[in-house]
Amino acid sequence: MSHRDDVGSGTGPSFALRALIVLTAVLGLNYIVWRWLFSVNWPAWWIAVPLVVAETYSLIDSLLFGSTMWRLRRRPAPAEPPDGLTVDVFITTYNEPMDLVLNTAAAAQRIRYPHTTWILDDGDRPELASAAAELGVRYLTRSASWTNRPRHAKAGNLNNALLATEGEFLLILDADQVPDPEILHRTLGYFRDEKMALVQTPQYFTNVPPSDPLGSQAPLFYGPIQQGKDGWNAAFFCGSNAVLRRDALMQLGITGYVRAVEDGVRRTLKTAQTVVDRARAETGPGQADVLAALDSVSAAVDTAKRDLRAHLPLGEITYEFQQSVDAAARSVVEADADAMRADLAAIAELTGGSGESGGAALLLDDDALDRLAGREWSPLGAIESIRALIRAVDVGRDDEAQPMLPLATISVTEDMATCMRLHRQGWRSAYHHEVLAHGLAPEDLGTMLTQRLRWAQGTIQVMLRENPLLQRGLTPAQRLMYWATMWSYLAGFAAVAYILAPVAYLVLGVMPVQAYSWDFFGRLIPFLLLNQLLFLVVSRGTPTWRGQQYSLALFPVWIKACTTAFNNVYRGKPLGFAVTPKTRQGDGALPWHLVRFQLIAMAVLVVASVIGITRLYFGAISALGVGVNLFWVLFDLVILGVVIQAVRYRGPDSEGVR
């Protein structure tokens, strides 16, 4: 990727590209409808159904990609930035080497547009603070309020800094992302649009050899995909190399604070209704006054819930609810006092007391005590509990270090969720296709897998917690653009079907389709060819094959991400958070264990091929079926074989870098 000439002249997708998108979609739909209706081998449903489901998944993925490309936007160069803007440059770090952090900070100091550079050190290292001071860079670490409270990883680090700084705009950089001196001059001009909240630039890595064995460069994503999303106002924040408007983030913080308090009130009302129901069940049928009081509390709960849905002010809702509960409590006390006086009068008559002198209490015998012990006491305690609940709503959010958390903390990756919330509130984003910072990619397989797992886990967390298809405020296109990225991480399950289907035929002779006919190939092959042609056209010669390989070859990572994120969201199991190391890890031994599932899959495919050829020799299966499935096996092996190159990769020095 070049630099200055990457910004286009404001062009959009051509008629030819849109025609190709439509034709690919038509052929894909024609194939998959035919497969479901006429080609599924239902007697072998255990492999036929998973395969056709995987194919359907892949078609939807293709349709989402085509939808993204439909409004591919190559922006013209932005206007010059306004004078006088205040900018904070945030360099986030945890445990990266000090010289790496300081190198980025020194480059940030050389940015031409006036700004203040901050090192946000989540590792709280005094030596880094001293070095930053010598460099003339501001240093910030977490405040004491974060002690013994959720830290929220990088999002927490940034949220802490947001409340300690004042710049109107923020340039966010990872510790290894060395910025170009022109980065602010090339991006701040977009913010002449008062609704622009985010400008994202590409992430480009200098330590990646031409073969890109770990698939670190992402030319398809940091190019056509982001440009396509940009056409739908859905280009999103990628965690670094981005400029954001502080006001937009603070608006998110305020909205999030209100939502958190609303959730607290909502949970309190739900608990209050449970308490009322239990108290009503324990109240005798003769206590009409008490039942009426409980009914009034229940009605107050319903009214408060309705007012919450109507978005009335929280103060009014809680005040009215408290008044209703107080009135109910007074009525219960009055009823309880009347019942107590009646009981005491009855006891006084039994014991010969007057009931008015107070002497009755001195004459209580066992019968009188039994009468009082057996009396149905009022549920005043229940109402008092409700009154305490509503007064204890955590308006100050004492469970968090800060009442306001502008960047989203619902995921181990803060970027996508934050940007989706910005779009929900009507803010705009832009993707500026020009390399304006140079970073460091993982230099070993283990580090790369850690990074990819975290990205996938974070994305799936967002999908499960704030499904974009259900979010109000997003346009239909924005919902699809966010969903497309989330959908891509489900590819691991489809990959399993694509690996097992040829094995089923070669080993067992079981076909997942009714027949390998010309009808089958005549529908499938044109769709596959056009789909690849679409990739070639939109990439404009940029190689995308490595990314396509890893989308399937990392199927164990994607499956693990989905299962662990599901367990985290719905079962409360921790994910943990691992910062991607910026230096090579390991002791020199080849980490074959990291790709054991891929190696097992490759071994199974090879063994199945040998068995299939043997069965063909003895006439147990057809030559056409064996040929088709051996080609399929070869394709799977080519895809999975990328992990062998990744295991053997010894770092950029072994191949040279760009």
- Which range is least confidently modeled, 95-109, 132-146, 191-205, 575-589? 575-589
Q: Are 648 and 590 in contact (CB under 8 A)?
A: yes
Mean pLDDT of 54-67: 97
Query: What's the pLDDT score for residue 622?
Result: 93
What amino acid is encoded at 215 in this protein?
Answer: G
Confidence (pTM): 0.85
Chain position carrying tokens 């009426």: 292
More confident residue, 370 or 172: 172
Q: What percent of the chain has pLDDT over 70?
A: 86
Tokens of 488: 């891509």
Burial category of 60 from C-beta neighbours within 10 Å (exposed 0-12, middle 13-18, buried 19 and up): middle
Q: Which helix (H) or strand (E) segment is 196 a member of? A: strand 196-200
pLDDT tens digit sequence for 316-330: 888 888 888 888 777
- The boundaries of every CATH 3.90.550.10 domain in the chain are 87-254+404-442
Burial 215-240 (b: 16+ CB within 10 A, else e): bbbbbbbbbbbbbbbbbbbbbbbbbb
Mean pLDDT of 102-112: 97
Query: What's the pLDDT score for residue 7?
Result: 61
Mean pLDDT, all residues of the chain: 88
Residue 287, pLDDT > 80, answer no
Sequence-ordered alpha helix ranges (H) in 232-353:
246-281, 288-309, 314-351
Q: Which helix (H) or strand (E) segment is 205 a member of? A: strand 204-205
Q: Which superfamily is assigned to 87-254+404-442 in CATH? A: Spore Coat Polysaccharide Biosynthesis Protein SpsA; Chain A (3.90.550.10)
- Which range is least confidently modeled, 117-126, 378-387, 399-408? 378-387
Residue 371, pLDDT > 60, answer no
SS3 label, residue 170: strand
Residue 224's pLDDT band, with cuts at 50, 70 and 90, is very high
Q: Are 568 and 575 in contact (CB under 8 A)?
A: yes
Residue 313's pLDDT band, with cuts at 50, 70 and 90, is confident
Residue 582's pLDDT band, with cuts at 50, 70 and 90, is low
Q: How many CB atoms lie within 10 A of CB 49?
A: 16
Sequence-ordered alpha helix ranges (H) in 540-595:
545-553, 555-571
Residue 362's pLDDT band, with cuts at 50, 70 and 90, is very low
First vs last C-alpha separation in the chain: 11
User: Residue by residue, what is the 3-state secondary structure of 397-411?
Assistant: CCCCCCCCCCCCCCC
Query: What's the pLDDT score for residue 578?
Result: 55
Query: What's the pLDDT score for residue 290?
Result: 74
Can you name the residues that pair with 338 across neighbouring β-strands? none
Chain position carrying tokens 């945030």: 90
What amino acid is encoded at 442 in this protein?
Answer: P
Strands (DSSP E) contained in 403-461 are: 428-431, 437-439
pLDDT tens digit sequence for 380-402: 677 777 767 677 666 667 778 88
pLDDT tens digit sequence for 259-271: 888 888 888 888 8
Residues 6+ away with beta carbon under 8 Å from 576 = none
Mean pLDDT of 76-100: 95
Query: What's the pLDDT score for residue 47?
Result: 97
Query: What's the pLDDT score for residue 449?
Result: 95
